Amino acid sequence: MGTERRRKLSLFDVVDDTVGKMAKSNGGFVGSNLINRWNGKPFSQRYHDILEKRKTLPVWHQKEEFLQVLKDNQTLILVGETGSGKTTQIPQFVLEAVDIESPDKRRKMMIACTQPRRVAAMSVSRRVAEEMDVNIGEEVGYSIRFEDCSSARTVLKYLTDGMLLREAMTDPLLERYKVIILDEAHERTLATDVLFGLLKEVLRNRPDMKLVVMSATLEAEKFQGYFSGAPLMKVPGRLHPVEIFYTQEPERDYLEAAIRTVVQIHKDEPPGDILVFLTGEEEIEDACRKISKEISNLGDQVGPVKAVPLYSTLPPAMQQKIFEPAPPPLKEGGQPGRKIVISTNIAETSLTIDGIVYVIDPGFAKQKVYNPRVRVESLLVSPISKASAHQRSGRAGRTQPGKCFRLYTERSFNNDLQPQTYPEILRSNLANTVLTLKKLGIDDLVHFDFMDPPAPETLMRALEVLNYLGALDDDGNLTKLGEIMSEFPLDPQMSKMLVVSPEFNCSNEILSVSAMLSVPNCFVRPREAQKAADEAKARFGHIDGDHLTLLNVYHAYKQNNEDPSWCYDNFVNHRALKAADNVRQQLVRIMARFNLKLCSTDFNSRDYYVNIRKAMLAGYFMQVAHLERTGHYLTVKDNQVVHLHPSNCLDHKPDWVIYNEYVLTSRNFIRTVTDIRGEWLVDIAPHYYDLSNFPQCEAKRVLEKLYKKREKEKEEARSQYMIGCSLVVEITSSLVSSKWCHCRYSCVCEWGELEHVLKKFKVKGYRKISTSELGLMMKSLGKVTTKQEVDGDGNNDGCINLQEYIKLNTKGVDFDEVMENLKDTLSIFDMDKNKFITAEKLNTEAESLREECSLEYRRMIDDINKYDNNNDHTITMSINNNNTSIIIYS
């Protein structure tokens, strides 16, 4: 078949005739029965073996029907039972039928298949690469947060729904994709729900694009209605009958009950692998250890077992162990071995594991829950839905009749479980989502086409948080800071912390802290070596808290050349640290893209850790707790009683802490905490700590005192600065040229002397010094105390106060005339009469006079800069009440 003929094929024509027969026998690949169209290499024997298995999948028998329906419609809803093969086969069917040449012919377009979980994106892409007989990362790739395993050759990409959403931020019409497949849509993750609304708009603007929405549950009718009556296609699963067992009474400890059930099945039931659903990594690892120990204690009366964990942060090589066969008998003719997979709800629908005959379902999963009133988001162990229970039991009937042991009562199943899992968008903090939508140019959030609109209160909370962070202005528009923050694949608080870290001269350290917070817990605490692990962790501990402890771990890891054996000896997770290093490198690239400076405070400076803590507070100022007199902590503003998590590194209870995570259990804990100072709240986030709308609490009373203290310090500094400026009237000699003003005055007191004088008065609290001290001071300046200066003690108290000193040293100077002339001079440059003079104004107004007064001009700039204490290139001018000084301050 020639090139010309191929180009004339309709977009979704299935290849027919002789070539079509070859393609069908060859898994749909056009060309020789022996040559792979994608890489030009001969097919391996492994490819042909897998192909025979693919042909037995239920979805294979509906391939032609699927392609025809997709050809006739822009959007298709497909319901495929667990084990039907939809996740691996549908993207390949689409790839075989679609013309992926882009209009400009310079590159291939891609097929995207989203997954709600990283584990699924990685494992499924590897399986599909194997089925297509290509290398992972080339023709078939995947993309997850902080890891992109794809290339210019990639034509089929599996990616998390969150990653596709991030791609839409830079490519709003997703022009690199020909077909987008949203898999596991029934899980209704936050990113998937946002993609629903975005893709509806994209499809209107791109009639050449196709969308396939795949679900494992019958809620698909809701998707059908949302996508304007898109056709619904159903693919049956390959299910055998599954017998359901319930407990007679509720189980108090579902973990112990699950372990007990595993042991009982292994002792009493025929061969077949076991799948146990638990809620998280810690539970799963604990169960693996206990199951292995209990079964080994049974000795030869049972066969061997292989306990295999499965959770999202497990490395790919470990994830692949779930597909390995059960162990053989220990001896010939002995009891057969059994594989036991202990998994989170990843194994409900995202992955299919052959050989599972028994499922143990405790009825719980971790779910994200958000309370907008107190702004608390946490992962809670919650009851699953009936739909999830159905999916779990279906895992037992993949290859033969199976059994599902539900560790809850039938009454509880019927009366307590919700029919469907609540969509994540209805129970999540939406700050990151709102920031993404704003970046995409979607300003009218209330009317955005959500399938299930979130509560207005949740949206308002998200807008409020982003406004406090400076990502949105008061009108709800994205700020420049917000645009930069949206580019980081982090939560908004962490993004803010990173973006502002150069201002605190510690961006290198904040990068490391952010990376460590973005990966799983790096500390390992084996049950058999808990004391040694705790001692090792204590060696990394920092007196100011957990964030700096994580920084110490990362620094030690790099100083020891990323050595895995060093990690093992020090009870830290090498995989987690390696992942953190990878995350850090990616964050550095984003920083460089926006010219954000990489810098560090000198390690020997006392400000080294202070600056890091201040930078962290700049992002997490809304996550602060205060130690009450009762001994417990109260979250600031929200007044929630919390406790420091037992895992924290602090050996004391600081008055104020920032926290990274709020953990809801029988007691409310704050985890990953760092000591901060109350005055920093006043300095760094005064807009948030506005006491006018603060609830009455001990923290408010403390903050009121801190505000008063700060105001007093500012007033004293301002007063001293005013005095300094009144004495240094010599500023006029730089600012005033003969052309601009005819008056030039000089003060008796030089600036060096003034500085010395003010320091002396400062020692005495800005009040007065004795005449004898004045004599010593004048002597140190190389001057002699005059009778006039001694006689200046007008109130005969034996001391000269600051006012008396100024009066003595400015005798004969007509301040009224000086100030009026100085005011007139400065006003020349205040063209818009806003009482501000900027370097830009000076430059503009003095340009025509540059040749005549270049010297005066340069002096003028120097003096402006000298009094520009906060380096904003601006000084403010005004005359004080008695016209005896000029106030120059920012």
Other Cβ atoms less than 10 A from the Cβ of 791: the count is 10
Confidence of residue 823 (pLDDT cuts 50, 70, 90): low
pLDDT of amino acid 743: 26
Confidence of residue 851 (pLDDT cuts 50, 70, 90): very low
- With beta carbons less than 8 A apart as the criterion, state whether 280 and 287 touch: no
CATH topology agreement for domains 242-426 and 728-742+813-890: no
Angle at 412 between CA 387 and CA 268, to 5 degrees: 85
Cα separation, 683 vs 709, whole angstroms: 12
Tokens of 748: 């008796």
Decide if pLDDT at 203 tops 80: yes
Decide if pLDDT at 620 tops 90: yes
Cα separation, 791 vs 9, whole angstroms: 108
**CATH architecture, domain defined by 242-426:** 3-Layer(aba) Sandwich (3.40)
Express each pLDDT in 270-306 by its tens digit. Answer: 999 999 999 998 899 999 999 999 999 988 889 999 9
Residue with tokens 């001018």, as numbered in its chain:
877
Q: How many CA atoms lie within 13 A of 251 on its CB side?
A: 21
Map residue 676 onto helix, strand or coil.
Answer: strand
pLDDT of amino acid 804: 53
Task: Round the average pLDDT of the chain to a whole number and report it.
Answer: 80
Cα separation, 726 vs 747, whole angstroms: 9
Cα separation, 843 vs 854, whole angstroms: 11
Q: Rounded to 5 degrees, what are φ and ψ at 629?
A: -65, -20
Torsion of CA 637, 643, 649, 653, to 10 degrees: 70
pLDDT over 90, % of the chain: 55
pLDDT of amino acid 710: 81
Express each pLDDT in 663-675 by its tens digit. Answer: 877 789 999 999 9
Decide if pLDDT at 512 tops 60: yes
Indicate the domain borders of the chain: 3-235, 242-426, 429-487, 490-620, 728-742+813-890
Name the CATH topology of 728-742+813-890.
Recoverin; domain 1 (1.10.238)
Query: Which has the closest alpha carbon to 626: 689, 678, 683?
Result: 678
Cα separation, 38 vs 136, whole angstroms: 13
pLDDT of amino acid 525: 86
Cα separation, 424 vs 439, whole angstroms: 21
Residue with tokens 């994106």, as numbered in its chain:
121
pLDDT of amino acid 765: 40
Where is average pLDDT lowest: 117-126, 350-359, 526-535, 880-889? Answer: 880-889
Decide if pLDDT at 221 tops 70: yes
pLDDT over 70, % of the chain: 75
- With beta carbons less than 8 A apart as the criterion, state whether 380 and 366 touch: yes
Decide if pLDDT at 794 tops 80: no
pLDDT of amino acid 857: 43
**CATH architecture, domain defined by 3-235:** 3-Layer(aba) Sandwich (3.40)
Cα separation, 553 vs 347, whole angstroms: 33
